[in-house]
Amino acid sequence: MSVENSFVAARAFALVLFLALSGSLGVSSPATALTAAATVRDANSIQLGDVTYRLDGVDAPELDQVCIDDHADPWTCGIDARDQLTKLIDGKSVRCDDVGPEKNFGKRHRAICTVEGNKVSLNEQLLKLGFAIAREPIKANVKPAAAEAKTASAGIWKGCFVAPQEFRTGKRDGTLLGAACRSDRDKEIRAVLFPDELAAPPSCAIKGKLAVRARVTGNIGIYHLRGCPSYAATTRPDRWFCSEDDAQASGFRKAYNCRRPK
């Protein structure tokens, strides 16, 4: 064997050895699953460490979304949906398996998440309880649970609501869903689901306003922080957010006159 061929063979062997060792050390590629203590951001989103995942196939009411219950009363269904997810986790560690990016929710990825000691995913459990609807794309096996909840009028299905996606975009003429919807009360129902004065959820003080001009940057609206010159002037926000990350994940950009409060 020539000196040149020997050198090439040695480099090839070194590369194979490096890759093998790297794989055994777990540094060959980014992790596709993460297990940690969970922080529930909303009924769609779970934060593990500094990573926030969106539950694959699940579209739950937003924290500031209003539904109508089976007694025809306004209901903070988004907060109740979040609380249901918190109860399902019950302070235990959660494993989230990454199934791909979520193009409609900022930099977040979709994931199938399970609680330690439970084989049924949180995705499926939340849908079975009726506190979310199924939404494409879906890799988790959640469609049977979603159909079961709808048939049983469980959770939000017992009342009347619009799909979370239509609430997020302010689609006031969206399809009404749920067992308590009445065609003869369409106007009154929509006035409840899209109130002129949308109440802010606890600890959620960031104001969001849908705006056509935001589309220039690929967004659907603009958010305003306390201390921004535009904050007080935004008297009827279309959305309320608990963090800038939540606002950006919903397709809103920061107002250009905003500066982070000191």
* Structure confidence by residue, pLDDT tens digits, 29-82: 345 889 999 999 999 999 999 899 999 999 999 999 999 999 999 999 999 999
> Taking 60 as the threshold, does the pLDDT of residue 158 lie above it?
yes
Whole-number pLDDT of residue 2: 52
Q: Where are the alpha helices (DSSP H) in 169-225?
A: 186-193
Q: Report which DSSP code applies to 23.
A: H
Q: Is the pLDDT of residue 5 over 80?
A: no
Residue at token pair 């779970």: 46
Average pLDDT of the chain, as a whole number: 88
Q: Give the tokens for residue 163.
A: 């799909």
pTM to 2 decimal places: 0.83
- CATH class of the structural domain 33-193: mainly beta
Question: What is the residue extent of each domain of the chain?
Answer: 1-28, 33-193, 206-254
Question: CA 59 to CA 126: how far, in whole Å?
Answer: 10
Work out the average pLDDT over 146-175.
Answer: 96
Confidence tier at 105 by pLDDT (50, 70, 90): low
Task: Look at residue 106 in the predicted model and tell me its pLDDT.
Answer: 63
Average pLDDT over residues 127-131: 98
Q: How many CB atoms lie within 10 A of CB 95?
A: 17
Q: Are 81 and 126 in contact (CB under 8 A)?
A: yes
Residue predicted with more confidence, 100 or 190 = 190
Residue 186's CB is within 10 A of a number of other CB atoms, namely 12
Count of C-beta atoms within a 10 Å radius of residue 98: 17
Quick: pLDDT tens for 179-222.
Answer: 999 999 999 999 999 999 999 999 999 999 999 999 998 999 99
How far is C-alpha 183 from the chain's CA centre? 30
Q: Tell me the pLDDT band of 10, cut-offs 50, 70 and 90.
A: very low
Between CA 228 and CA 193 the distance in angstroms is: 28
